Structure 1
Amino acid sequence: MLPIRRSLRSRGIEVDPGCPFCGIDEESSHHILMLCPAVQAAWFASSMSVRVAVSSLHDLMIAVLESDDDIMITQLQTWLYVLWEARNAAVFHAKPLDIGNLLQRVGALVGVPVSVQQPLGRPVAALPSVWKRPRQGATKINVDATMQEGGAAFFALVARNFRGEVLAATTSDLVPCLSPKLAETQALQWAMIMASELGFRTVCFETDCLQLYNGWKNLDHGVSYFSTVLANYRTLVWHFNSVSIYFVRRTGNKVADNLARHASSFPGSVWIEEVPPELVSLVLADVLASIPPIV
Structure 2
Amino acid sequence: MWRATKDALPTRANLTHRKVLTNPTCQVCETEPESTFHTLWSCPKLKEAWKVHFETLKNETQECLTFLDVFKTCLEQPHNTYFFAMLVNQIWFRRNKLRLGEEVVDLKLLNSKARDALHEFQLATAVPPNPPPIRTPIKWNPPPSEWFKINFDRAVFKEQAKAGLGSIIRNDHGLVMAASTQVIPLPTSVKMVEVLAARKAFIFANELGFDKVILEGDSEIAIRAMKCDDYSAASFSHIVSDIKAVAAQFRCVIIQHTRRQGNMVAHSLARTSCNFPPFCTWMEEVPLSSFAVYSAETINNT
Tell whether 2:230 aligns with 1:204. Answer: no
Among candidates 132, 142, 152, match of residue 143 of structure 1: 152
How much has 1:280 moved relative to structure 2? 1.8
How much has 1:288 moved relative to structure 2? 2.1
Distance in structure 2 (CA, Å) of the matches to 1:128 and 1:159: 22
Are 1:134 and 1:161, in contact at CA under 8 Å, matched by a contact in 2? Answer: yes
Q: Any idea what SS the aligned residue of 2:213 has?
A: strand
How much has 1:228 moved relative to structure 2? 4.2
Among candidates 158, 169, 178, match of residue 188 of structure 2: 178
TM-score normalised to structure 1 length: 0.53
Distance in structure 2 (CA, Å) of the matches to 1:131 and 1:275: 16
**Segments of 4+ moved more than 2 angstroms:** 173-176, 221-229
Pick closer, same or farther for the CA change 1:265–1:138 going to 2, 3 Å.
Answer: same
Who is 2:285 aligned against?
Answer: 274
How much has 1:207 moved relative to structure 2? 0.8
Stretches of structure 1 lacking an aligned partner (at least 5 in a row): 1-126
Distance in structure 2 (CA, Å) of the matches to 1:219 and 1:230: 11
Distance in structure 1 (CA, Å) of the matches to 2:288 and 2:222: 30
Distance in structure 2 (CA, Å) of the matches to 1:282 and 1:232: 31
Q: Any idea what SS the aligned residue of 2:226 has?
A: helix
Structure 1 residues 1-295: aligned runs within 5 Å: 129-149=138-158, 151-220=161-230, 222-267=232-277, 268-291=279-302
Pick closer, same or farther for the CA change 1:199–1:147 going to 2, 3 Å.
Answer: same
Are 1:131 and 1:252, in contact at CA under 8 Å, matched by a contact in 2? Answer: yes
Cα root mean square deviation, aligned: 2.1
Who is 2:47 aligned against?
Answer: none
Distance in structure 1 (CA, Å) of the matches to 2:238 and 2:182: 23
Distance in structure 1 (CA, Å) of the matches to 2:199 and 2:234: 18
TM-score normalised to structure 2 length: 0.51
Q: Whose relative contact order is higher, 1 or 2, with alpha carbons under 8 Å and at least 6 apart?
A: 1
Are 1:219 and 1:231, in contact at CA under 8 Å, matched by a contact in 2? Answer: no
Deviations 1:55-78 (A, max 9, x none): xxxxxxxxxxxxxxxxxxxxxxxx
Deviations 1:29-81 (A, max 9, x none): xxxxxxxxxxxxxxxxxxxxxxxxxxxxxxxxxxxxxxxxxxxxxxxxxxxxx
Larger Rg over CA atoms: 2
How much has 1:199 moved relative to structure 2? 1.7
Q: Any idea what SS the aligned residue of 2:202 has?
A: helix
Distance in structure 2 (CA, Å) of the matches to 1:232 and 1:271: 24
Letter in 1 for 2:144: R
Deviations 1:263-294 (A, max 9, x none): 01113111101011232221122122223xxx
Distance in structure 1 (CA, Å) of the matches to 2:247 and 2:298: 28
Deviations 1:155-187 (A, max 9, x none): 110111110111111111324411111101011
Distance in structure 2 (CA, Å) of the matches to 1:170 and 1:201: 18
Distance in structure 1 (CA, Å) of the matches to 2:191 and 2:214: 20
Are 1:143 and 1:187, in contact at CA under 8 Å, matched by a contact in 2? Answer: yes
Q: Any idea what SS the aligned residue of 1:269 has?
A: strand
Q: Any idea what SS the aligned residue of 1:193 has?
A: helix
Are 1:143 and 1:155, in contact at CA under 8 Å, matched by a contact in 2? Answer: yes
Distance in structure 2 (CA, Å) of the matches to 1:157 and 1:274: 12
